[in-house]
Chains A and B, each alone.
Chain A
Amino acid sequence: MDLFNNLALGFGVAFTLQNLMYAFIGCLLGTLIGVLPGIGPLATIAMLLPATYALPPVAALIMLAGIYYGAQYGGSTTAILVNLPGESSSVVTVIDGYQMARQGRAGPALAAAGLGSFFAGCVGTLILAAFAAPLTELAFKFGPAEYFSLMILGLIGAVVLASGSLLKAIAMIVLGLLLGMVGTDVNSGVARFSMDIPELTDGIGFIVIAMGVFGYGEIISNLSKHESEREVFTANVTGLLPTKEDFKNMVPAVLRGTALGSLLGILPGGGAVMAAFAAYTLEKKTKLRPGEVPFGKGNIRGVAAPEAANNAGAQTSFIPLLTLGIPPNAVMALMVGAMTIHNIQPGPQVMTSNPELFWGLIASMWIGNLMLVILNLPLIGLWIKLLSVPYRWLFPSIVLFCAIGVYSTNNNTFDIWMVGIFGFIGYVFIKLGTEPAPLLLGFILGPMMEEYLRRALLLSRGDWSVFVTRPLSAGLLAAALLLLVVVLMPSIKAKREEAFVED
């Protein structure tokens, strides 16, 4: 079996002392930011990206991946104990998790989240390992037209599954694509939109955008809301072990959550957040067993399913990135940046040209999930203490790490002004109710889309029908259209709005 050989190679890479250490650091940081409300994996990965310059590529990617899936574990702790989502992907965990904590059942809730996440993480990693090879085969059949259509599908998927206004999300993507155009055009050598500023001929640094919009924009917006009284259920975490009855309810929910999460993670635009929402909705649709607590009142299934789903989704969203080189969400867009920094062109060739990186990363995910269970269940007390740290101590630290992240890349004062400008823009986005994540995705995909469009049209001699006459490309575009139609149907539209308002 090839798969086993490959996994063996992967574990060989992942089990070196250095890589184990970086996997641990990633998981630790992920849990940390997961527990802390107000800072997400997106901002953290953006901050640490420059710091990974000095690391070997495998170690860097292992660490950054650990932050993403680690955050899915940490987020549930805050959701259950503080009634605040530590991470946007644990928004729905708050509903039943906090109720369980109020009934003195914080322990079983935490255990359900932790064990569910672990199971889902393992399954997600296996799916990633099993599907990567066949999908890579498929990717080699892709021509420029297919890539272009796939990106359209990915971008449409990203808006459909995003919260809020559809039109505004599409506009944000287009804005992102346009920002991606700034800089020297590779084909003609023309410096586009550089306004005669020499630094802009290299394009806008994507760390600058990520940090300004996600880091500073969020901090400013958090500070403008006044700190509300938090009620932390710390004393209540006694017995961690769920009862037999809990297990009976939990297991099918975890299985359903894992299946749904894995599927939604692969889809373009999917990822942890959407997976959690969908899994909770699904659980609510299934019948309550006799004597079971209703949803919203502390049902353990309402914790187990979304937590399993967000972890599975976090894991499988690496599939499109690693096989096709197309990021399905904003965090994966940052991973593209991380790979580019290390001179790795994301895409189907990664598996063949860098097998130790590819399989090492996958193997490290399984190890990381194991570390996370240990970090999150026996060591839960540590994280509870962290929750009592006031925000006025936290935000200067976050500002500092953002700043170090920006200036460690180059000591160019130009970046200072750029981050300042984008921080302001990010805050304006928040005030205007426009979600910035699609912008980042568009920004990463912009130059790629232009290039594939150019190549596709060059090959077809300017004939646009090439996108619908090639079957694979036509299929992808049809899927994108279908997504749009489905979302615009009145009945689904109402449900979609309901799903995002629900709390």
Chain B
Amino acid sequence: MNIKSQKDFFSGLMFMVVGVAFAWGAATYTIGTGARMGPGYFPLALGVLLAVLGGAITFKALVVEAVDGDKVGSFAWRPLVFIILANVVFGAMIGGLPSIGLPPLGLVAGIYALTFIASLAGDEFNPKEVAILATILTAMSYGAFILLLKLQFPVWPAFFGN
């Protein structure tokens, strides 16, 4: 059997798997009856519904013709990895990661790290330009978030003793 629409086929599959997983999980809680709904009642119904919808989407993808096979296309791994990594590193530097013994390094260091890592996701990377951008962003964020909105962030690394 040929897949007529890749996008629909895989999204249908995704919905089926997630639907079944939720329904499975819901079945372990008390289901109850309509008049006395248990915690499992609504999620079980939704999970089954999602699985059915996913099945219908997958079925349609195998039967109905789509233009050019509706290819999913290749994943843009480079932006995906760097954007999410930038976010994770920033979070770790603001909050610190006690599990690996990283103390909070503060907003300023976090912004520089984020800007450099995120910039690697783009097509061009010019270290000097990125450094300037990071400096501007640091100044702006300090003004907007620390001075104006008074958010509670550590600004400098914790071991500087504030």
Please list the residues of chain A having a beta carbon within 8 angstroms of any beta carbon in chain B: 51, 54-55, 165, 167-168, 170-171, 174-175, 177-178, 181, 185, 187-188, 190, 192-193, 216, 219-221, 223-224, 226-227, 391-393, 395-397, 399-400, 402-404, 406-408, 411-413, 415-417, 419-420, 423-424, 427-428, 431-434, 449-450, 453-454, 457-458, 460-464
B119-162 toward A: CB 8 Å interface, digit per residue (1/0)? Answer: 10111100001100110010001000100011111000000000
CA–CA, A457 and B34, complex, Å: 6
Within 8 Å by CB of B15, from A175, A415, A450, A464, lies A175
Q: Is the interface of A mostly helix, strand, loop or mixed?
A: helix
CA–CA, A126 and B116, complex, Å: 48
Beta-carbon nearest neighbor of B34 in chain A: A462
Say yes or no: A187-B39 contact (C-beta < 8 A), given A399-B114, A411-B95: yes
CA–CA, A432 and B122, complex, Å: 22
CA–CA, A170 and B90, complex, Å: 35
Cβ of A400 to closest chain B Cβ, rounded Å: 6
**What are the residues of chain A within 8 A of B105 when measuring CB–CB?**
none
Beta-carbon nearest neighbor of A404 in chain B: B145
CA–CA, A27 and B58, complex, Å: 44
Q: Which of B18-65 contact A (CB under 8 A)?
A: 18-19, 22, 25-26, 29-30, 33-39, 42-43, 46-47, 49-50, 53-54, 56-57, 60
B123 A392 Cβ-Cβ under 8 A? yes
Say yes or no: A424-B87 contact (C-beta < 8 A), given A400-B114, A453-B37, A457-B34: no
Say yes or no: A54-B123 contact (C-beta < 8 A), given A171-B54, A423-B83, A454-B37: no
B53 A167 Cβ-Cβ under 8 A? yes
A399 B123 Cβ-Cβ under 8 A? no
CA–CA, A400 and B34, complex, Å: 47
**What are the residues of chain A within 8 A of B26 when measuring CB–CB?**
192
**What are the residues of chain A within 8 A of B25 when measuring CB–CB?**
192-193
Within 8 Å by CB of A178, from B38, B47, B87, B133, lies B47
A424 B80 Cβ-Cβ under 8 A? yes
**What are the residues of chain B within 8 A of A463 when measuring CB–CB?**
34
**What are the residues of chain B within 8 A of A178 when measuring CB–CB?**
18-19, 22, 43, 46-47, 50
Within 8 Å by CB of B92, from A170, A395, A416, A458, lies A416
A192 B43 Cβ-Cβ under 8 A? yes
A462 B35 Cβ-Cβ under 8 A? yes
Say yes or no: A400-B111 contact (C-beta < 8 A), given A51-B145, A51-B149, A224-B76: yes
Within 8 Å by CB of B87, from A187, A408, A416, A460, lies A416
B149 A54 Cβ-Cβ under 8 A? yes
A171 B50 Cβ-Cβ under 8 A? yes
Beta-carbon nearest neighbor of A417 in chain B: B88
**What are the residues of chain B within 8 A of A406 when measuring CB–CB?**
87, 91
Beta-carbon nearest neighbor of A449 in chain B: B42
Within 8 Å by CB of A434, from B11, B70, B92, B150, lies B11
CA–CA, A178 and B121, complex, Å: 33
B33 A462 Cβ-Cβ under 8 A? yes
CA–CA, A407 and B35, complex, Å: 42
B133 A393 Cβ-Cβ under 8 A? yes
A407 B90 Cβ-Cβ under 8 A? yes
CA–CA, A461 and B37, complex, Å: 11
B35 A458 Cβ-Cβ under 8 A? yes
**What are the residues of chain A within 8 A of B91 when measuring CB–CB?**
403, 406-407, 413, 415-416, 419
Beyond known contacts A216-B87, A391-B122: 18 more, CB 8 A cutoff: A54-B150, A168-B11, A174-B50, A181-B42, A181-B46, A190-B29, A190-B30, A192-B26, A393-B133, A403-B110, A406-B87, A424-B80, A427-B80, A432-B11, A432-B14, A449-B42, A458-B35, A458-B37
CA–CA, A51 and B150, complex, Å: 9
What are 7 of the A-B contact pairs (CB < 8 Å)?
A167-B53, A168-B11, A178-B46, A181-B46, A187-B37, A223-B76, A403-B110
**What are the residues of chain B within 8 A of A193 when measuring CB–CB?**
22, 25, 43
Cβ of A169 to closest chain B Cβ, rounded Å: 10
B74-89 toward A: CB 8 Å interface, digit per residue (1/0)? Answer: 0110011001101110
CA–CA, A449 and B49, complex, Å: 15
Within 8 Å by CB of B57, from A168, A415, A420, A431, lies A168
CA–CA, A414 and B42, complex, Å: 27
CA–CA, A15 and B43, complex, Å: 47
| Most chain B C-beta atoms within 10 Å of own C-beta, residue among A174, A392, A395, A423 | A174
